[in-house]
A and B are shown apart, each in its own frame.
Chain A
């Protein structure tokens, strides 16, 4: 429960809206109850008066109860309409608050604090936040309304006849709490089984779609189709079990509502005979009981949501509370004139908390890159190339050694200030859902159109954008889905031109492109590299000049470094790599 209380505390600014939603929900329920109960009482009273003769007819106040009936009817309509609006208003405000809170917490964590072995952490996080938005309207409001309304309705009955009030309250408790909880208990095991069955079926379907060529050519397609059919049948059987439990719960609730009416008769009729209750009051009990159960009906849907919502809340706060992988100093020293990089004895690991199990991604690394030079970083996957980029961009903290940028230790500079010196072009260019212009302006807010075009020219993308009917306002689609990989890479290059930072980090910028596109991209890269300090991370030696520097990485340290023109003949590693690469040229 602690996590839900924390969630509510987050929603505190909207307490008034939330209280309003509950109050209006309560008004709706009580008006419904009042309408039916009063109508029953009114009819019976009128009938009694009608039988009693003319004098009684004149004495009977017809107008007050008739106005009451109309009042409740009106309140029921208006309160219900208003409560739905207020509930939604409150929910939207909560969603906004939650997103802002969470996003602010995610900023210092990204990207390395948001990596999970389980895979798609971000997708799950967004789904969790989505589920949390159900907590207020679908759990909190119905539960509070049912709790308060039940008490109020039972008290109303109790004022007339305590036994009737007590009976109503107990039956409401049974229908609202016991029946859903029993159903929840009964559904727990088949529910878990269904989750597993669904996951299995989904995995098979994904396998079928993505591995269809393998299945067909290995003659395994009929077996897979049969397996899917079998899993589908098992899933349906599991669902039938769940449906039966749910239907039993619903039937039990209906039955309890009916039993309540019967109980009113069984309690009311002897009291009536004893003169303790009037005929109209008996009618009030019966119809009131009918209305009362509407208050607890939503609980059978609300309570099962509670456990998954708590689970989602727990996960969301677990992520929000993660310690940032890198701690920022309060302020940065002034920017030095030269930005030479000097790494000495650097050791870096991603599981620093786990002292005995530390795995060093960088293990005693020495590297220096003077301002204005180009350094090509070679090495097998896992050698630590990307860790160097993470270190420079302050995404990961180094535990030992010294990393000086322009003579200042990196961890004495604020992360945002460090990153303002670097531009990264990698194989994973993230494009935001929006136009090409939006995606370019990210690199330089306030850039004019001529500046954008100039950047596009440099990235060799101007012709493509000019040919598109919408020009700069062409939509790139979700995560850049509407433009090709090569074009996305060029957008990244154009961003780099606009940003104009002293340092450029190229992280396998041509990986995954076909050779022709890759060759063209390399041409565009030349323009972007001009005049900057470049760190080029790659596992294939790319087009650089003989005067550029090369470092070969192995197991987190530099095993060979120097000028390319020298090393290609005299080096220990480089000649072999070049030999290997010659045969593996991509065509």
Chain B
């Protein structure tokens, strides 16, 4: 799994191939500069300590050393920047791809469970790829190249030290794999447990009111401490193994330095070798292990990048509904009809099965039925948010909906969802979404029709009031009214509306019902209706049950028919109004 994601990410990184190669080349160059620096340093120390050279005689070497120092600093800066460049290019491309794909898949898919926290994936998910792309990938190449160069240099100087590196170098990856495969499993478990420990605290804090209501809050204090302690114990157990990975690396690098020093020591002591190569090798040995140590520090970055990549590719790989429509939408009035319309989100599990119905132009059709009956899915199909698995939606009896370009279709309709979204910006800019060139009188008219004008004008800044994210600061009823005002402003021939049921008081509900009736008047309207007043006003009621049209007709006809609708009516009245009948 991790390997597949690694490969996939590397394939994505090919987009920034030039910058990545440049990063690797710069890193390699920096490695070579380090070797040159070591050669110069060793020469200077050797000549000063053993050949009596003073600063004056060493000036050229010292000057060159200074140049190399600057060069190395410059190279390390440049490598960081090219790495960033690569990462930025890939991240931007992925983010753009994600947004495009989400918009093409439509709101039904974006809200579905499998897409999870989509916004988080687009934001933090993409961001967490940065260390992987900018540092880990180049380091992966350098870990093979730089030690090789250093090994070659050391081997030429002294084959014994070369042999020490030759033995310890490959042993490190071997031991790391041996310990690491175990450590990785341990590590992942430990992360999960850490997460769980964090989750318990969050859970307890968020549920504090409930705990207090049950008189369990004080007991929970001790529990918070005990759970943290338990996790500490199990986690420390696994960390003891997990930290061995880096200890192995540390062990070999320390051992090699010590071994090289001691081996040189005996030979130097007996005059069998010069100081210069010995000192040079000693300078180079720590650099031999440096790339590996750097790579190890990116280990967690890689894990979180892979986790994020999994979610990113899940979104990117989701098949969007294909839309072939190119036709323009017909002029008003618009009538709709469904013929054998079936929709299935998962194969073999249809939500709508064979819907046949007519939605006449210029009148309101109410969709009614228990939750899960398919009302929202039918609306989504009429909106073109989902494609039928069978059958089709016809516009004005002649044009199949899926032959019309979606943007064209959406231009002809106004949609008010159950939870409409207000965007950050002013109230005016939110309304102008419907008609960018609308002037203030037009805004006021639309707001008045929606019953929103009085509360907007009561705000100190009126239409110029800045709204928080998602309309923060407004009540549910106010958000609904602004969404209706937006639809009034659009003045489209077709209206599709999902009546809100959330937390509104009776007065507000009554005002919204009246506004909806005004909005629907004279248009083709499809309303997912929950309130009796709205339903009664509809020219036609479609009663859905388990993905089929159970009944269709007017309120009066259906109430008299004694079918599903009459049953719902009776249930609602019986429960909520026991005793009301005798009063009225």
User: Are B102 and A39 in contact, with the CB atoms below 8 A?
Assistant: no
User: Are A270 and B532 in contact, with the CB atoms below 8 A?
Assistant: no
Shortest Cβ gap from B584 to chain A (Å): 7
User: Are B510 and A580 in contact, with the CB atoms below 8 A?
Assistant: yes
Q: Could you give 19 example pairs across A and B, Cβ below 8 Å?
A: A35-B254, A50-B269, A62-B266, A72-B258, A85-B240, A130-B198, A207-B421, A209-B102, A216-B107, A228-B99, A232-B96, A258-B72, A282-B48, A422-B213, A430-B207, A432-B203, A495-B214, A540-B576, A580-B510
Complex interface residues of chain B between 482 and 528 (CB less than 8 A to chain A): 483, 486, 490, 501-503, 505-510, 513
**Residue A47, interface by CB 8 Å:** yes
A248 CA / B80 CA spacing, docked (Å) = 9
A272 CA / B201 CA spacing, docked (Å) = 63
**Residue A399, interface by CB 8 Å:** no
**Residue A66, interface by CB 8 Å:** yes
User: Are B255 and A73 in contact, with the CB atoms below 8 A?
Assistant: yes
A-B contact count (CB 8 A): 448
Shortest Cβ gap from B395 to chain A (Å): 16
Query: Nearest CB to that of A96 among chain B residues?
Result: B228
Residues of B within 8 A of A104 (CB): 221
Query: Nearest CB to that of A50 among chain B residues?
Result: B271
Task: Write out, one digit per residue, whether chain A residues 26-48 have a CB within 8 A of any chain B CB (1) or not (0).
Answer: 00000000011001101110111
Residues of B within 8 A of A35 (CB): 254, 257-258
Contact of B48 among A198, A214, A279, A586 (CB under 8 A): A279
Query: Nearest CB to that of A111 among chain B residues?
Result: B209
User: Are B576 and A585 in contact, with the CB atoms below 8 A?
Assistant: yes
Contact of B271 among A51, A77, A427, A543 (CB under 8 A): A51
* Given known A-B contacts A39-B282, A43-B261, A111-B209, A585 and B532 have beta carbons under 8 A apart: yes
Task: Write out, one digit per residue, whether chain A residues 475-492 have a CB within 8 A of any chain B CB (1) or not (0).
Answer: 000110000000000000
A232 CA / B41 CA spacing, docked (Å) = 46
User: Are B572 and A103 in contact, with the CB atoms below 8 A?
Assistant: no
A73 CA / B531 CA spacing, docked (Å) = 80
A256 CA / B506 CA spacing, docked (Å) = 73
User: Are B279 and A43 in contact, with the CB atoms below 8 A?
Assistant: yes
Shortest Cβ gap from B538 to chain A (Å): 12
Closest 6 CB pairs of A and B: A211-B421, A279-B49, A96-B228, A247-B80, A47-B275, A92-B232
* 5 extra A-B contacts, CB within 8 A, seeds A43-B264, A262-B66: A77-B247, A123-B202, A217-B415, A244-B77, A423-B213
Contact of A254 among B73, B262, B421 (CB under 8 A): B73
User: Are A269 and B576 in contact, with the CB atoms below 8 A?
Assistant: no
Contact of B203 among A272, A419, A433 (CB under 8 A): A433
Residues of A within 8 A of B326 (CB): none
**Residue B368, interface by CB 8 Å:** yes
**Residue B424, interface by CB 8 Å:** yes
User: Are A587 and B198 in contact, with the CB atoms below 8 A?
Assistant: no
User: Are B506 and A70 in contact, with the CB atoms below 8 A?
Assistant: no
Shortest Cβ gap from B228 to chain A (Å): 3
* Given known A-B contacts A206-B470, A515-B571, A583-B532, A243 and B80 have beta carbons under 8 A apart: yes
Residues of A within 8 A of B228 (CB): 92, 95-96, 99-100
User: Are B122 and A205 in contact, with the CB atoms below 8 A?
Assistant: yes
User: Are A73 and B258 in contact, with the CB atoms below 8 A?
Assistant: yes
Query: Nearest CB to that of B216 among chain A residues?
Result: A442
**Residue B298, interface by CB 8 Å:** no
User: Are A287 and B283 in contact, with the CB atoms below 8 A?
Assistant: yes
* Given known A-B contacts A244-B81, A247-B81, A232 and B502 have beta carbons under 8 A apart: no
User: Are B264 and A46 in contact, with the CB atoms below 8 A?
Assistant: yes
Shortest Cβ gap from A203 to chain B (Å): 5
**Residue B320, interface by CB 8 Å:** no
A255 CA / B72 CA spacing, docked (Å) = 8
User: Are A81 and B236 in contact, with the CB atoms below 8 A?
Assistant: no
A517 CA / B282 CA spacing, docked (Å) = 78
Report the stretch among B50-58, B174-182, B439-447 that lies at the interface. Answer: B50-58
Shortest Cβ gap from B573 to chain A (Å): 7
Shortest Cβ gap from B579 to chain A (Å): 6
A129 CA / B368 CA spacing, docked (Å) = 49
A129 CA / B81 CA spacing, docked (Å) = 34
**Residue A416, interface by CB 8 Å:** yes
User: Are B49 and A517 in contact, with the CB atoms below 8 A?
Assistant: no
Shortest Cβ gap from A435 to chain B (Å): 13
Complex interface residues of chain B between 23 and 70 (CB less than 8 A to chain A): 37, 41, 44-45, 48-50, 52-55, 58, 62, 65-66, 69-70
**Residue B218, interface by CB 8 Å:** yes
* Given known A-B contacts A43-B268, A216-B107, A240-B88, A584 and B513 have beta carbons under 8 A apart: yes
Contact of A43 among B99, B221, B250, B278 (CB under 8 A): B278
User: Are B573 and A585 in contact, with the CB atoms below 8 A?
Assistant: yes
Complex interface residues of chain A between 402 and 457 (CB less than 8 A to chain B): 415-416, 419-420, 422-424, 427, 430, 432-433, 442-443, 445
**Residue B403, interface by CB 8 Å:** no
A123 CA / B199 CA spacing, docked (Å) = 11
Residues of A within 8 A of B49 (CB): 44, 48, 272, 279-280, 282-283
Residue from B70, B73, B424 with most neighbouring chain A CB atoms (10 Å): B73
**Residue B212, interface by CB 8 Å:** yes
**Residue B407, interface by CB 8 Å:** yes
**Residue A546, interface by CB 8 Å:** yes
**Residue B92, interface by CB 8 Å:** yes
A586 CA / B501 CA spacing, docked (Å) = 8
User: Are A100 and B268 in contact, with the CB atoms below 8 A?
Assistant: no
Shortest Cβ gap from A241 to chain B (Å): 10
**Residue B383, interface by CB 8 Å:** yes
**Residue A273, interface by CB 8 Å:** yes
User: Are A252 and B103 in contact, with the CB atoms below 8 A?
Assistant: no
Residue from B45, B228, B279 with most neighbouring chain A CB atoms (10 Å): B45
Shortest Cβ gap from A142 to chain B (Å): 14
User: Are B76 and A247 in contact, with the CB atoms below 8 A?
Assistant: yes
User: Are B107 and A213 in contact, with the CB atoms below 8 A?
Assistant: yes
A222 CA / B376 CA spacing, docked (Å) = 25
